[in-house]
Structure 1
Amino acid sequence: MAIGAVLFDCDGVLVDSEIVGLEDSAEFLRSNGFSWSPEDLIRLFTGKRDDLFRKGLMEGFAAVLGREPREAEKEALYEGLIEARRANRHKMKAVPGALETVKLVSELGIPLAVASSSKQVYLDSKIERYGFGPYVLPHVYSAEFVDHGKPAPDIFLHAAERLGVAPDSCIVIEDSPFGVEAGVAAGMEVWGFTGGGHCLEDHPMRLNQAGSSRIHATHSALQQDLVRVMEEQ
């Protein structure tokens, strides 16, 4: 295929944030009656926009309580869980090799964007903190500004439109099955990435089942594949 653009997810692809605070989050939920493990949280929620995450969380909470939780209970649970993650944010790092991949795509002359489920304020902070800005700005897009979050295709279609490229010429780099489904629904080729600290043993299989055409365990392997595809064009 001729690559019209590369669209990167952020969390778990560029920044190793999905693993941050995961154990503390599971422990907080256990203290509130949940039986979810860190692995359950990864499988249930990784890649989802905040509204979909909150919806699934509250459905689980209702099952724990055996009734619909009151608004005060919902807020206490949600804020407590978020705080468990925030308390660990100092541990967050860029995924090894991610900056080199973004730089390579830029040097190859391929348009690129970041298309993420994160809120824009957090997304912008990560892009700046880890040095991605010179290569991706201004094309950093949060799904909070489209109608539907992943696994709907909206954020990827929005990014392609802003770049001025056809969706079917885009390669999406995604670490979550929900993100892969979103890219496939957008009519794009999706390459799965399993180099994040949260990726489980069955992660490659789950990404393939969701529709990814290739799997890369490291950014080095991803870089080699991008160069190979460009040479074949």
Structure 2
Amino acid sequence: MQSFMGLSPSTWKAKLQASVEEKTGAPLQADFYDQIDQISTFRLEALLAEIPFARQTIDQIATLRCVASSTPAARLRWKLQRVGLIDLFDPHIFSTDLVQNGKPAPDLFLHVAMAMSASPHECIVVEDSVNGVIAGKAAGMHVIGFTAGNHCMADHGETLLRFGADIIIDKYEDLATISQGGAP
């Protein structure tokens, strides 16, 4: 999860291919990525759900907000619609499709800052991936490590801190407190 989460599809596919070839001496099967896509789509359709208190918390954030994700644009919009949160961000939904280099490069976050007419040092990134934390810090932004997703293991917050997160929160309610100038 630490190596691949937060990477654009082209980046994680190339990284996985190289790793498999290094370890096995053979490339992945030609249909490997199609199989992964089918399995992940099936699992998303069955299991994707809003994290508790996400809507209430995001709705309370009175400043400009957006989504900046490594997920391809069409799938990102589908996910946001599926969990009922798209209206909280639309039209400020940005995908790695918009930049040459995805996370951990800062390109996406810098693109978003410019598109939103904000200076990078004024931006707060809420990230659940090591690659996203690295990208946010490289962009000169304040980074909140977010561990509320069910994909986050017990030590995930410590890992995000080790890679540069400024603070860790483990539930949306704490994000509301921070956005209003308080401590979690």
TM-score for both structures, normalised by structure 2: 0.92
After superposition, what is the alpha-carbon deviation per residue over 1:153-182, rounded to whole angstroms, capped at 9, x for unaligned? Answer: 111111111111111100000001110000
Contact 1:160 1:166 in 2 (8 A): yes
Q: 1:87 aligns with which of 37, 42, 66?
A: 42
Aligned to 1:190: 143
Structure 1 pair 135–81 and aligned structure 2 pair: CA distance change class (3 A): closer
CA distance in 1 between partners of 2:29 and 2:164 (Å): 34
Counterpart Cα distance in 1 of 2:69 and 2:35: 23
Matched, 1:145 2:98: yes
- Shift of residue 57, structure 1, vs aligned partner: 1.4
- 1:103 aligns with 59
Q: d(CA) in 1 for partners of 2:50 and 2:80?
A: 10
Asked whether 1:78 is paired with 2:33, we answer yes
- Give the one of 116, 120, 124 matched to 2:73: 120
Q: Judge which range, 47-56 or 121-130, deviates more.
A: 121-130
Kept in 2: contact 1:48–1:150 (CA 8 A): yes
Check the 8 A contact 1:58/1:74 in 2, yes or no: no
The structure having more radius of gyration, on CA atoms, is: 1
**Runs of 4 or more above 6 Å deviation:** none
For structure 1, the 5+ residue unaligned runs are 1-41
Please, which of 133, 137, 153 is the counterpart of residue 180 of structure 1? Answer: 133
RMSD of the TM alignment (CA)?
Answer: 1.6
Q: How many residues align?
A: 182
1:216 match:
169
- For residue 112 of structure 1, give the secondary structure of its aligned residue in structure 2: coil
Structure 1 counterpart of 2:6, which letter?
G
Q: CA deviation at 1:229?
A: 4.6
Q: Which residue of 1 aligns with 2:107?
A: 154
Q: Aligned-pair distance for 1:43?
A: 2.2
1:156 corresponds to which letter in structure 2?
A: F
Q: Does residue 1:131 correspond to 2:90, yes or no? A: no
Runs of 5+ unmatched residues, structure 2: none
| Post-superposition offset of 1:74 | 4.3
Partners of 1:85 and 1:169 in 2: how far apart? 35
Deviation at 1:49, TM superposition (A): 0.7
Give the superposition deviation at 1:60: 2.4
Partner of 1:57: 16
Q: CA deviation at 1:65?
A: 3.0
Cα offset for 1:66?
1.5
Instruction: Check 1:121–1:229 CA distance in 2 against 1; reply closer, same or farther (3 A cut).
Output: same
Q: Which residue number corresponds to residue 119 of structure 2?
A: 166
